Amino acid sequence: MIPSYDPHDSEYGLKLLEDLTTNAYEVQQKVLEEILAKNAQTDYLKSFLNGHYDKKLFKQKVPVVNYEDVKPYIERIANGEPSEIISAQTITELLTSSGTSGGQPKMMPSTAEDLERKTFFYNLLVPVMNKYVDGLDQGKGMYLLFIKPEISTPSGLVARPVLTSYYKSSNFRNRPFNRFNVYTSPDETILCSDSKQSMYCQLLCGLVQRDQVLRVGAVFASAFLRAIKFLEDHWKELCSNIRSGQVSDWITEPSCRNAVSLILEKPNPDLADLVEHEFATKSWEGIIKKLWPITKYIEVIVTGSMAQYIPTLEFYSGGLPLISTMYASSECYFGINFKPLSKPHDVAYTLLPNMAYFEFLPVERNHEEVVLCNGVSDQNCVLKEDETEKLETVDLVDVKLGHYYELVVTTFTGLYRYRVGDILMVTGFYNNAPQFRFVHRRNVVLSIDTDKTNEEDLLNAVTQAKLLLEPLGFLLIEYTSYADTSSIPGHYVLFWELKVKGNNDLEELIDPSIMEQCCSTMEESLDSVYRRCRRKDHSIGPLEIRIVKHGTFDALMDFAVSEGSSVNQYKTPRCINSEEAIKILDSRVVGRFFSKTTPFWEPFRMETK
Ligand code: AMP
């Protein structure tokens, strides 16, 4: 099922993509046949299919499921039961996703073959980029990539994020062209477990080789902006290292230090002067183009929740195209953007039909709710069917132009009819394969980096925090939130409308230290990915609560009604992204408070059952 392909042969790569998309139906049928034939004897499938592997029966009998349904199986594997309960192939590791279940990361099964499939996918990105941008082989790529902590499950399986797994594999070390030093970051700097040393070293290497850099990037827009913030904080030291030819003493990780020293080589005062001049200018508008003058584009995902970073990236980029190349997840790698130079809002991903068996749950757009809804929230798309009824899916080749769907996957690694939670819209077809715009993630209301906070998590955090206020005679009567990304790193903002028992003079009565504790309590109550981003990755800033005047949420409702919401059906949105709505709230703020502590985080531990 994974075609053999020499990634250096662009022409053949493009032909493969033509074949896969032209034969989308046939490939999908084969994928399902193969998955069923191989896994028919797993406990999971046997419980529905009795050992049969008929494709029709599969759709009739095997249910469409959520993570909670497969979690018991995954936990059993983590606790040492054999892979065969869900997968005929050995599960070699678990991939921790940014979605959470009960406050802990979800874990997706992975196999040795899965790594090969991902490698095949990455390799196909190369010919697509080469088709649109000439001469990429004439220079280097500065990709800022990072690993995250991993844990061992009670049975000794490794559980870690999918990218950490890939970067630590030999497939990554042997990726196309790596042996020709086409990337500015030595592998040792990417594999450095101290994220600060890793970032510093990668930026230093990128600056030293700036004249050769034809493309820059990171996986997500948020990570790239974090690098710019890091430059703001460390540029003087970086310039001083370039001037002296010596890496700072605090870079202590030996392999990382050695790798960087080899690139730094000798004192380079001319280069130090040049970059220092750019850094020292007052405005950093267009700084990327100034620091890396021949770079042709910035490769970062700017679709989905990352779209909130487009304006800031455009400010720093100096007009460089922002390129989202792929759409993937811990469950499975899905699709490629066949027109990488298209504008961020026009980006569509073509799902590669040999990656998994794809099905689609039709969803309807609910125009009523669109007015105030954040682009990452759930409220503007609802499932067509009553969720309690049997969910009818549509096949990959049967989706309709302009329609919205939730993605469901059956993977080679032991997930069957699994709801990924992403809502996609069909924007066209490439040969016979549909192309999708990423619309939003089901349930997620707030996201800054890889965190994905849903309404329930938010409510839970608010509920914990308001307990501090209630004994003091305050009642929280309404709240909403938004992700403030106007500064780096972005942070969660909560608007709270409070009522004071028997007295209306709110401002006088609010105790800042209690409010700060409310902020901290909220942070402690959010899930482990949020807390990791806050404490370890520093990719989210301190949570803020803005207290608004009495009557503010009435004004918000008036605004929503004026924009077309019906009074009867109006519900306070738990997140907002309409600038006007934020202005309405902001103009009534009477107090702003920030968390003064960083929440507790440690790599999660799994209990042996
Ligand atoms: P994770 O499960 O932590 O690997 O995160 C995967 C999720 O990130 C996907 O299901 C999407 O919701 C989101 N995601 C990944 N790639 C993209 C993309 N290109 N555009 C928008 N969202 C994406």
Q: With a 6 A CB cut-off, is 333 part of the ligand 1 pocket? A: no
- How far apart are the CA of 97 and the centre of ligand 1, in A? 10
Angle at 338 between CA 182 and CA 399, to 5 degrees: 145
Residue 163 shares a structural domain with residue 277: yes
CB atoms within 10 A of CB 503: 10
Residue 170 shares a structural domain with residue 291: yes
Residue 92 shares a structural domain with residue 235: no
Bond preceding residue 489 cis, omega within 30 of 0 = yes
The minimum-distance atom of ligand 1 relative to the CA of 306 is 21
CA dihedral sign of residues 197, 200, 206, 207: negative
Residue 283 shares a structural domain with residue 401: no
CA distances (Å), 460 to each of 102, 105, 200, 527, in order? 12, 17, 37, 10
Residue 69 shares a structural domain with residue 83: yes
Closest CA to 357 of 40, 59, 43: 59
Cα–Cα distance, 262 to 181 (Å, whole number): 13
Structural domain that includes position 164:
134-295
Cα–Cα distance, 515 to 30 (Å, whole number): 58
Residue 433 shares a structural domain with residue 451: no
Q: Once rounded to an integer, what is the mean pLDDT over residues 32-40?
A: 97
- How far apart are the CA of 303 and the centre of ligand 1, in A? 9
Q: Band the pLDDT of 608: cuts 50, 70, 90.
A: low
Residue 147 shares a structural domain with residue 290: yes
Last residue of a domain, one of 295, 313, 348: 295
As to burial, measured by CB atoms within 10 angstroms (0-12 exposed, 13-18 middle, 19+ buried), residue 68 is exposed
pLDDT tens per residue, range 548-604: 998 899 899 889 888 877 777 788 889 998 899 999 999 999 999 999 999 998 887
Q: What is the pLDDT of residue 408?
A: 98
* Any domain includes 187: yes
Residue 98 shares a structural domain with residue 245: no
User: What Rg, from alpha-carbon coordinates, does the chain have?
Assistant: 25
- Give one DSSP letter per residue of 271-314, joined into a string: HHHHHHHHHHSS--TTHHHHHSTT--EEEEE-SGGGGGGHHHHH
Cα–Cα distance, 370 to 363 (Å, whole number): 14
Residue 150 shares a structural domain with residue 232: yes
Q: What is the pLDDT of residue 503?
A: 61
* Any domain includes 47: yes
* Any domain includes 609: no
Q: What is the pLDDT of residue 372?
A: 31
Q: With a 6 A CB cut-off, is 447 part of the ligand 1 pocket? A: no
Closest CA to 17 of 174, 112, 126: 126
* Any domain includes 128: no
Cα–Cα distance, 380 to 362 (Å, whole number): 14
- How far apart are the CA of 330 and the centre of ligand 1, in A? 8
Cα–Cα distance, 541 to 105 (Å, whole number): 21
Q: What is the pLDDT of residue 377?
A: 37
pLDDT over 90, % of the chain: 76
Residue 257 shares a structural domain with residue 142: yes
Helix (H) / strand (E) containing 531: helix 528-535
95, 310, 351, 438, best to mutate for ligand 1 pocket (most atoms within 8 Å of CB) = 438
Residue 349 shares a structural domain with residue 471: no
Domains identified in the chain, total number: 3
Residue carrying the six token digits 């500064």: 487
Q: What is the pLDDT of residue 368?
A: 36
Cα–Cα distance, 544 to 373 (Å, whole number): 20
The minimum-distance atom of ligand 1 relative to the CA of 331 is 2
Q: Give, using CA atoms, the residue closest to atom 18 of ligand 1.
A: 327
Q: With a 6 A CB cut-off, is 162 part of the ligand 1 pocket? A: yes
Closest CA to 448 of 326, 347, 312: 312
Q: What is the pLDDT of residue 390?
A: 64
* Any domain includes 332: yes
Residue 190 shares a structural domain with residue 155: yes
* Any domain includes 401: yes
Q: With a 6 A CB cut-off, is 96 part of the ligand 1 pocket? A: no
* Any domain includes 185: yes
* Averaged pLDDT score across all residues of the chain: 91
Cα–Cα distance, 155 to 539 (Å, whole number): 32
Last residue of a domain, one of 441, 457, 488: 441
Q: Once rounded to an integer, what is the mean pLDDT over residues 89-113?
A: 89
Q: Band the pLDDT of 458: cuts 50, 70, 90.
A: very high
- Tell me the residue type at 153: T
Residue carrying the six token digits 């008036």: 558
Last residue of a domain, one of 424, 441, 458: 441
pLDDT tens per residue, range 362-398: 998 654 333 233 333 334 445 554 454 567 999 999 9
Q: With a 6 A CB cut-off, is 105 part of the ligand 1 pocket? A: no
Q: Once rounded to an integer, what is the mean pLDDT over residues 274-281?
A: 97
Q: Once rounded to an integer, what is the mean pLDDT over residues 121-141?
A: 94
- How far apart are the CA of 422 and the centre of ligand 1, in A? 8
108, 122, 422, 423, best to mutate for ligand 1 pocket (most atoms within 8 Å of CB) = 422
User: Which bin fits 181, alpha (ψ -120 to 50), beta or left (φ > 0)?
Assistant: left
The minimum-distance atom of ligand 1 relative to the CA of 349 is 19
* Any domain includes 250: yes
pLDDT tens per residue, range 194-220: 999 999 999 999 999 999 999 999 999
Q: With a 6 A CB cut-off, is 279 part of the ligand 1 pocket? A: no
CB-based contacts of 585: which residues, under 8 Å, 6+ apart?
480, 495, 546, 548, 552, 556, 576
